[in-house]
Amino acid sequence: MATATDNATPAPAVARREAVPLSAYVHLPWCVRKCPYCDFNSHRAPTDLPEEAYIDALLADWALACTQENRTVDTVFFGGGTPSLFSAAAIGRILTAIDDRLGLAADCEITLEANPGTTEHARFADLRAVGVNRLSLGIQSLDEDCLRTLGRIHGAAEALAAIDDARAGGFDALNCDLMFGLPGQDVERAMRDLDPIIARDPGHISYYQLTLEPNTPFYRHPPALPDEDTVVEIFEQAGKRLVAAGYAQYEVSAWAKGGATCRHNDNYWRFGDYLGIGAGAHGKRTRADGRIERTARQRWPTGYMSVAGRPASITETRVLTADDARFEYLLNGLRRRAGVSREEYEQRSGLCWAELGDALATPIARGLVAFDARGLRATDRGWRFLDTILAELLP
């Protein structure tokens, strides 16, 4: 039986809750065009985007989400959809409302996702002026054929110009999203995507493999993708280039230079709390009694706007069991290179560290995870078998 060196009792519920960081996620659900690989809750934007009505709905939703909440917001993330379709003034209204209700931390990280095809220099400067301090650019590829296959509305020149414009607009904190394992891609083509991004030196690069998600056109009509050996070689070669350029992999798909990690995403991976508002937004909160609650909002934008701010807008509320909490914690925590610390695990899950060791006895014995009195992480071998490790914990 695998155990830690002692079996201390986790802290009381109220103390645990107050120590859990709180973030805000704001979902803006419209895109110019729906990409065939995307399974997010996004919808083609109408000719007349209902910006004011949707922001009004978000503000009502925020008031509802803040019920019985008093913690300061450490990070805010505007996701979508394509948040850069909205005006800076609209984004500013939301930030003001968040600050008025709960307060934004003095060093609050405020990220907005932007599509290179829906942005311009002036828009970046305006977003910076209303408080957004981190941009995440959905570049995905610099290969014109791949961009067309992926259904992207921008070209390579626009993508690279967006990086330069973001910098000119005042953004020092910048992430570039890039995909690999694309249709027709080999190692050489993949490096032609990555090298120009590295050369522009964003502090953060999200480098993730294209997957065929259910209920997407790509899933129903799969494109010809590279074989597994090619995908592995692409990722290994990319890793070497990123390390040589000064990036460190701190999560499966996330690479950053010193101080440039995404604090918002790291809060997800470390089982922090977040209030989610907007059509289809999900949230996670630690209740005053220590129980962990997950919620989901009405998905369809028009339906969401008609009930936002009322309990009817919440379509799902689920309180996690101990087994659920253990599994969900490690589902994300083991994606981090640093793994899971004992202190955070007991504080944020309310579960006993020694019992986690018991649950992971088989992966520990097989050398897939390293476990002691202070922490848990996947070993170099286990890093390639995260699904196997997690299968041991399925509720």
CATH number of the domain at 362, please: 1.10.10.920
The answer on 257 and 338 residing in a single domain is: no
Please tell me the pTM assigned to this model. 0.94
Contacts of 32 (CB under 8 A, 6+ apart): 44, 45, 82, 85, 115, 117, 118, 153
Does the residue 304 lie in any domain?
no
In tens, the pLDDT along 202-218 reads: 999 999 999 999 989 99
Does residue 237 sit in the same domain as residue 356? Answer: no
Same domain, 264 and 161: yes
Contacts of 113 (CB under 8 A, 6+ apart): 77, 78, 79, 80, 82, 83, 84, 136, 138
Residue 121 is assigned to a structural domain of this protein: yes
Last residue of a domain, one of 247, 268, 289: 268
Q: Are residues 366 and 253 in the same domain?
A: no
The answer to whether 154 and 115 are in contact (CB under 8 A) is: yes
Residue 2 has pLDDT above 50, yes or no: no
In a domain, 288, yes or no: no
38 and 152 housed in the same domain: yes
User: Is 80 exceeded by the pLDDT of residue 37?
Assistant: yes
Q: Is the dihedral of CA 372, 376, 377, 379 positive or negative?
A: positive
Report the Cα 341 to chain-centroid distance in Å: 20
- Residue 104 sits in a domain whose CATH number is 3.20.20.70
pLDDT one-digit tens code per residue, 177-198: 999 999 999 999 999 999 999 9
Structure tokens at 65: 């989400």
Residue that is last in its domain, among 268, 287, 303: 268
Give the pLDDT confidence score for residue 6 in this predicted structure. 52
Do 134 and 23 reside in the same domain of the chain?
Answer: yes
Q: Which domain holds residue 335?
A: 331-395
pLDDT tens for residues 74-125? 999 999 999 999 999 999 999 999 999 999 999 999 999 999 987 666 789 9
Q: Which of 268, 290, 322 is the last residue of a domain?
A: 268
Mean pLDDT of all residues belonging to the chain: 93
What's the pLDDT at 10?
A: 54
Higher pLDDT, 258 or 392: 258
With vertex at residue 101, the alpha carbon angle to CA 92 and CA 306, rounded to the nearest 5 degrees, is 70
Is 70 exceeded by the pLDDT of residue 8?
Answer: no
% of residues, the chain, pLDDT over 70? 96
Q: Are residues 263 and 346 in the same domain?
A: no
> Does residue 106 sit within a domain?
yes
Residue 264: inside a domain, yes or no?
yes
Can you give the pLDDT at residue 387? 87
Task: Name the β-bridge partners of 314.
Answer: 297
Q: How many domains does the chain have?
A: 2
Do 67 and 202 fall within a single domain?
yes
Give the lowest-confidence range in 52-56, 99-103, 359-363.
359-363
147 shares its domain with 29: yes
